[in-house]
């Protein structure tokens, strides 16, 4: 069987730094270039060999079939150094305990309650615009998701100062997080502006979360009104242990990083993609008008908007997570490749989801590829925007609900058109985002709906994403 040393390697490796320079110059292009090398390839991060998996089946082996043979890898070691040991970064008993303690906050009954807050925030944003206004959509979607997340998850302790701190610093951290996690640690100490901005943003954000946790702890029980209360009041059923303040701080920080970037970036790209395809826009507006009939969307409407779900699926496919890693904790064979204990394994959902071996015409924005009959033709594990297995994102239901309600609210009331200027350029980050997206809004009135309001094609309701 092949081993790590015998795997094909991309060109451009340099002494001591390996492929870091090439990865740094064009991260997204580099990751897409690995697929043609074969099912797996060996990339050098400095002197460290990293096995990149280039097929959905191999990724499924690591995440699900043989998940017990892998823990979080180098990416998450570096992430832990930077932002703590929250759920995305932890392993073993710590991960199992904390996930069990946090799960009630993400139960569908709680997300149903959050839906009203999501609708209120999206409506307030839509109310603030005027006819013909030019918007910085990327910035606004970040603020929308951050403020909504702050209220639904940390409402008891986050005042205006804390929310301002979150909104100011999370984008700075997200922008620099990918390079900080893959680059050699020695580069962190270079006194360059990016390092100084990242360190200051991380420090200020974690300090304000510490203040919020301390204030909530001093105020006493709140009956699990938000995630912060759930974490403060949770006790392990087996040991009776509670989370420490530092553990709670790490969990809250991790949710902010993960929740804001995924949802805000998806909303931004979705508005861009919809505006670029008038037929997609027409079908989507027909569905919104038919189902909502001019009212604000609610949690109950989420499964009644199947075409909107297709649009979001296609957005997440085209703009997937850039890089994830795992580390083998014992000798294991994946796809016929012998990996020793300690081997670092990586994969890019971004690259996998635009691979022409899996998706026909992969660069085309085509929501109809998620029609049930067409989606059934895809490889079973080809699309996992929120991960898979025991490490699947705990906030998936929250994210689907927030993205659906936000888009339904904004598109029901406004048409978005590209503002004059250059097209947005895709920038590598934990999730690739546009360098800037400016759009003009024009007011629209929802059209009167015919029929029973179940959608323009009377489509059957899909399973609720939060269920």
**pLDDT of amino acid 464:** 39
**pLDDT of amino acid 398:** 92
**pLDDT of amino acid 458:** 36
**pLDDT of amino acid 78:** 64
The answer to whether 466 and 404 have CB atoms below 8 angstroms apart is no
The answer to whether 462 and 310 have CB atoms below 8 angstroms apart is no
**pLDDT of amino acid 184:** 64
**pLDDT of amino acid 370:** 97
**pLDDT of amino acid 158:** 57
**pLDDT of amino acid 225:** 66
What is the 8-class DSSP label of residue 14?
B
The answer to whether 456 and 287 have CB atoms below 8 angstroms apart is yes
Q: Which domains are delineated in the chain?
A: 1-84+322-377 (1.10.630.10)
Scored b (16 or more CB within 10 A) or e, 428-466 reads bbbbbbbeebbbbbeeeebeebeeeebbbeeeeeeebbb
Return d(Cα 459, Cα 455) in angstroms, integer.
Answer: 6
Tens digit of pLDDT at every position of the chain (467 positions): 678 889 999 999 999 889 988 988 899 999 999 999 999 999 998 888 999 999 999 999 999 999 999 988 666 666 666 567 777 777 778 888 888 888 888 888 888 888 999 999 999 999 999 999 999 999 999 889 988 888 877 765 555 666 677 777 777 777 776 666 666 666 667 777 878 888 888 888 888 888 888 888 887 766 666 778 888 888 877 778 888 888 888 888 888 777 888 899 999 999 999 999 999 999 999 999 999 999 999 999 999 999 999 999 999 999 999 989 899 999 999 999 999 999 999 999 999 999 999 999 999 999 999 999 999 999 889 999 999 888 888 889 999 999 999 999 999 999 999 999 999 999 988 889 999 999 999 999 877 655 444 444 434 334 433 33
**pLDDT of amino acid 454:** 45
Question: What are the distances in angstroms from CA 263 to CA 141, 145, 268, 284?
Answer: 8, 7, 9, 19
Question: What are the distances in angstroms from CA 388 to CA 99, 126, 224, 317?
Answer: 15, 35, 28, 15
């Amino acid at each position: 069987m092949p081993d790590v040393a015998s795997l094909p390697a991309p060109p451009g490796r340099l002494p001591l730094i390996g492929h870091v320079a090439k990865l740094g110059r064009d991260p997204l292009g580099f990751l897409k270039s690995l697929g043609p090398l074969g099912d797996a390839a060996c990339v050098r991060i400095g002197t460290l060999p990293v096995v990149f998996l280039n097929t959905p089946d191999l990724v499924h082996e690591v995440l699900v079939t043989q998940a017990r043979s892998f823990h979080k890898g180098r990416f998450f070691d570096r992430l832990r150094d930077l932002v703590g040991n929250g759920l995305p970064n932890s392993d073993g008993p710590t991960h199992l305990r904390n996930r069990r303690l946090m799960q009630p906050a993400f139960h569908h009954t709680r997300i149903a309650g959050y839906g009203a807050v999501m609708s209120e925030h999206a409506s307030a944003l839509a109310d603030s615009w005027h006819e013909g206004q030019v918007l910085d959509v990327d910035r606004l979607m970040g603020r929308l998701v951050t403020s909504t997340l702050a209220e639904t998850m940390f409402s008891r302790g986050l005042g205006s100062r804390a929310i301002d701190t979150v909104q100011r610093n999370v984008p700075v951290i997200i922008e620099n997080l990918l390079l900080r996690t893959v680059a050699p640690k020695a580069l962190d100490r270079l006194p360059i502006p990016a390092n100084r901005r990242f360190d200051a943003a991380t420090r200020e954000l974690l300090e304000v979360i510490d203040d919020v946790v301390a204030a909530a702890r001093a105020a006493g029980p709140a009956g699990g009104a938000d995630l912060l209360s759930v974490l403060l009041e949770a006790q392990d059923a087996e040991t009776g242990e509670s989370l420490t303040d530092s553990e709670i701080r790490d969990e809250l920080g991790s949710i902010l990083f993960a929740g804001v970037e995924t949802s805000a970036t998806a909303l931004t790209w979705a508005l861009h993609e919809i505006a670029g395809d008038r037929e997609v826009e027409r079908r989507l507006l027909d569905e919104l008008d038919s189902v909502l009939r001019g009212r604000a969307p609610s949690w109950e409407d989420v499964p009644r908007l199947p075409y909107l779900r297709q649009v979001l699926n296609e957005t997440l496919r085209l703009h997937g997570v850039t890089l994830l890693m795992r580390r083998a904790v014992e000798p294991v064979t994946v796809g016929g490749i012998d990996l020793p204990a300690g081997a670092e394994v990586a994969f890019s959902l971004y690259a996998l989801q635009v691979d022409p071996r899996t998706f026909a015409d992969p660069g085309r924005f085509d929501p109809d590829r998620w029609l049930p009959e067409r989606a059934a033709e895809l490889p079973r594990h080809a699309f996992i925007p929120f991960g898979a297995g025991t490490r699947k994102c705990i906030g998936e239901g929250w994210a689907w609900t927030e993205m659906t309600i936000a888009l339904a609210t904004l598109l029901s009331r406004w048409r978005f058109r590209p503002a004059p200027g250059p097209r947005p350029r895709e920038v590598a980050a934990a999730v690739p985002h546009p360098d800037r997206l400016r759009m003009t809004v024009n007011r629209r009135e929802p059209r009167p709906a015919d029929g029973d309001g179940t959608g323009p094609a009377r489509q059957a309701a899909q399973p609720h994403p939060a269920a």
